[in-house]
Amino acid sequence: MWTEFTVGFALALVCAVCWALLDVSRKFMGRRVSATGAAAGLMLLHVLYLNPLLLSGSIVDGEGGGIRDMIWVGYPDLEWLYFLPTAVSVLLNLGANYLFFRAVQISPLSLTTPYLAFTPVFTAISALVFLGQIPNAYGWTGIVVVCMGAFFMNPGNSDDGVFAPVKALWTERGSFYMLIVALLWSITPILDKTASDMTSPLWHTMFLAGAVGLVFVGARGVKERSLRPLWGEFRTIPWWLAAGGFFAVAAMVLQLTSYAFIDVAYVETIKRAVGVTAAIAAGYFIFGERDVMRRLIGAFVMSIGVGLILLAG
């Protein structure tokens, strides 16, 4: 029998699979084109996929509901205050998206995307430093567990002593880049929630992705004095771009919908647990990465830590 929890769990599970498939798509794109080209194409496709939802929301009448309020919301009336947090989020997402693609270009998928589990760790630390919000016992335990999982996943050279895991992050540059991505994406939710509250999650997602994509396109146009090289990159991976854009939008819509049925903590825990496991499995079966058992155990430990941090919130 389907209950609210089972419906929410199913939505969160499919959402997590979509995020994992998006990571695989980004890995394939990163192997074929530049980081800026892949990021620009993927971001601009958000506009193509989300516009029909916003248009249908402007047309459809009827009583509002939890899910309808999140998805079929139509185009909002914008105020100038909306652009303040949005502009900062665009800048941070420019760096995050570029570094994400660079990370999966130069390092194994199984040693990069699991480090996104540090996002709630950085969020908790930021809240402590800037807001004076002290984590409870679950929070501190979760932070320690995530760090232990990361150190176990990439222990480094034993000759480097106790700081070997830290040095390993520096030598495996893709893992280091992904840590920066996790840091940036721990800040953007605060800005994005503020902007979404003024408009809607769907509109803000489309506007944010479109702005990031256009900046990448503009930068390439200025650098190369032509958009032909960028268009040429798009033409080499049309199906991967289309698939990546679809998975990104589907994951986002499913995630928003699942919030209406179960707590955010459950959704995020499922997403991280499935995401890190799928990244390591894809690295082994699709991209030929080896020595993944230790990474799998480390990623599983990190997922437990993420769950503790989110439950503490």
Residue 212: C-alpha distances to residues 9, 12, 38, 128 (Å): 31, 27, 12, 29
Number of other CB atoms surrounding residue 118 within 10 Å: 26
Contact 16, 274 (CB under 8 A): yes
Contact 146, 118 (CB under 8 A): yes
Predicted confidence pLDDT, tens digits, the chain (313 residues): 678 888 888 888 998 899 899 999 999 999 999 999 999 999 999 999 998 888 887 776 545 555 556 666 778 888 999 999 999 999 999 999 999 999 999 998 888 888 888 887 887 787 776 667 777 888 888 888 888 888 777 766 656 555 656 676 778 889 999 999 999 988 887 788 788 888 888 888 899 999 999 999 999 999 999 999 999 999 999 999 999 999 998 888 788 778 778 776 677 778 877 877 888 888 888 888 877 788 888 888 888 888 888 777 6
Amino acid at 253: V
Question: Which long-range contacts (C-beta less than 8 Å, at least 24 apart) are formed by 254-258?
Answer: 254/11, 254/12, 254/14, 254/15, 254/18, 255/12, 255/15, 256/70, 256/71, 256/201, 256/202, 257/11, 257/67, 257/70, 257/71, 258/8, 258/11, 258/12, 258/15
Q: Considering the entire predicted model, what is its pTM? A: 0.86
Contact 232, 110 (CB under 8 A): no
Contact 127, 212 (CB under 8 A): no
Query: How many CA atoms within 13 Å lie on the side-chain side of 35?
Result: 15
